[in-house]
Structure 1
Amino acid sequence: MTDDGRLLTIDGRPALRFERRYRQPIDRVWRAVTAPEEMARWFPSNVEGDRAVGAALVFDDSAQRAADEEAGEPTRADGEIFRGHVVVHDPPNVFSFTWGGELLRIELHPDGDGTRLVFTHLLSHRSIAHRTGAGWHACLGELDRMLGVDVPVEDDWMSVFEEFVDRLGPELAHVDGDALVWERYSHVGPEEVRAALDRPEDWGGAPHADEAISWEVVPDEHGSIIRLRHEEIGDDAELAASWHALLVQLDMYLAAGQLLPVDGARFREAYASLLASRR
């Protein structure tokens, strides 16, 4: 059984859910998803702290980021280390904890001679589902291999990312009079977001920088809400799709410090329908 990232709504929040089945008994899988030395092999950081309800956790990802950078793969940009705390610790069935401003829940269920894993991530914002989903796809692939599942190592991370963009990508802009407005979320703070907006050449936005656009950056407890308003899209679905792609690029630039080009053509049909609907 494999469920590679479904987008759900839980308690009014967007969430991603992954499911796996392992042939090992539940106690073995429990160690893999809770023991610090085993989590370090598949989780995107070391998870430091006691495994007890209320215990503080520190997510030190310096070793993982160094390995990703050496391999030329996207990784989190420099910034504060994430912190959280244990919400549920119920061996060998549930381990749940906060991770920055988000909630992770790992559930294990006996399944014949093996174990069914249900991994749920409550997100800060719908717009990060594609990036987060692609990241967990890679991490859970490492867990699969650690537990003896024969899954291939994917060398082309960009293809994986594009698959999740197509399946879970951020919502289209909404129409506001003659304008289009996009809303996105980033885990980095407002100052860093504004600095990136002042350097559009870093994330591919320079050719469009002189258009009739305005940005709003709103502080959030664990990051920033970013809104883009474009006053002169008109009926130009290609331009709207280009901006949609640029915002995906901006998101990855803020998250990983890298420019990953995204083809706006994949969004053109959706924007043609959106723009036609307002006539």
Structure 2
Amino acid sequence: MLANFEQTQSGYIARFERRFRHEAQDVWAMLTDNEKLTQWFGELRVEELREGGAMLFDMGDGAFERMTIMAMTPQAVLEYEWGEDRVRFELEPQDEGSSLILIETIGTVTAHTARDLAGWQVCLDVIAALLDGRPIPQRKEEWARQYAEYAKLTESYLA
């Protein structure tokens, strides 16, 4: 299921929603424990987990992009810069598990937007597989399939 994508007065919002049969603290650990984080997003690390702290994105050439954490409430909210945009994870305990909402706030839709959205879609699928102990989906193939869908979804909004 694709993210809900809508235009707002200040840009765009992509909203992904997932339910897990796992406790909120287990999902939170996937987002904030570097050992678990690297299993689903190898380039991303927590430098300092606090508001004003940072996430680090490994550019693959020895350089790291530092992304400021804008909001952090343990086991509930993690929001940080994502280039010119922002990503926000909202986690809530539910009966028999938890729900996770990922919101990417996008200022301008570019050719790269569909790539990011497809990437988040696959990352969420990988988190679910890891938590469930299932085989991890074929990321490249799944990303390519999702990218085609997100490219169609965002093409009319391209700057």
TM range (shorter): 0.7 to 0.9
**Cα offset for 1:16?**
1.1
**Cα offset for 1:28?**
1.2
1:44 to 1:12, Cα distance in 2 relative to 1, 3 A: farther
**Cα offset for 1:150?**
5.1
Number of the residue aligned with 2:124: 140
Query: What do residues 183-225 of structure 1 show as CA deviations (whole Å, max 9, x unaligned)?
Result: 64xxxxxxxxxxxxxxxxxxxxxxxxxxxxxxxxxxxxxxxxx
Q: May I ask how many residue pairs the two structures share in their alignment?
A: 156
1:11 to 1:83, Cα distance in 2 relative to 1, 3 A: farther
**Cα offset for 1:79?**
9.5
Number of the residue aligned with 2:34: 36
Aligned residue runs from structure 1 range 141-220, under 5 A: 141-148=125-132, 153-154=137-138, 156=141, 157-166=143-152, 168-171=153-156, 184=159
Contact 2:4 2:14 in 1 (8 A): yes
Letter in 2 for 1:25: E
- Which sits farther off after the overlay, 143-152 or 84-93? 143-152
**Please, which runs of 5 or more residues in structure 2 have no aligned partner?**
none
Letter in 1 for 2:43: S
Letter in 2 for 1:83: R
Aligned-partner SS, 1:140: helix
Give the structure with the higher percent strand.
Answer: 2
Q: Given the alignment, which residue of 94, 98, 111 partners 1:115?
A: 98
Runs of 4+ in 1 over 3 A off after TM superposition: 78-81, 149-152
Distance 1:114 1:125 in 2: 35
Contact 1:56 1:83 in 2 (8 A): yes
Number of the residue aligned with 1:84: 67
1:44 to 1:171, Cα distance in 2 relative to 1, 3 A: farther
Aligned-partner SS, 1:121: strand
Aligned residue runs from structure 1 range 11-90, under 5 A: 12-43=10-41, 45-62=43-60, 81-90=64-73
Distance 2:88 2:102 in 1: 6
Aligned-partner SS, 2:49: coil
Aligned residue runs from structure 1 range 234-245, under 5 A: none
**Please, which runs of 5 or more residues in structure 1 have no aligned partner?**
63-77, 173-182, 185-279
**Cα offset for 1:12?**
1.6
Distance 1:79 1:126 in 2: 28
Letter in 2 for 1:51: L
Distance 1:152 1:53 in 2: 32
Query: What do residues 157-203 of structure 1 show as CA deviations (whole Å, max 9, x unaligned)?
Result: 4333222222x13227xxxxxxxxxx64xxxxxxxxxxxxxxxxxxx
Distance 2:85 2:48 in 1: 19
TM-score, normalised by the number of residues in structure 2 = 0.83
Greater gyration radius: 1
> Percent identical across equivalent pairs?
25
Q: Given the alignment, which residue of 81, 98, 104 partners 2:87?
A: 104
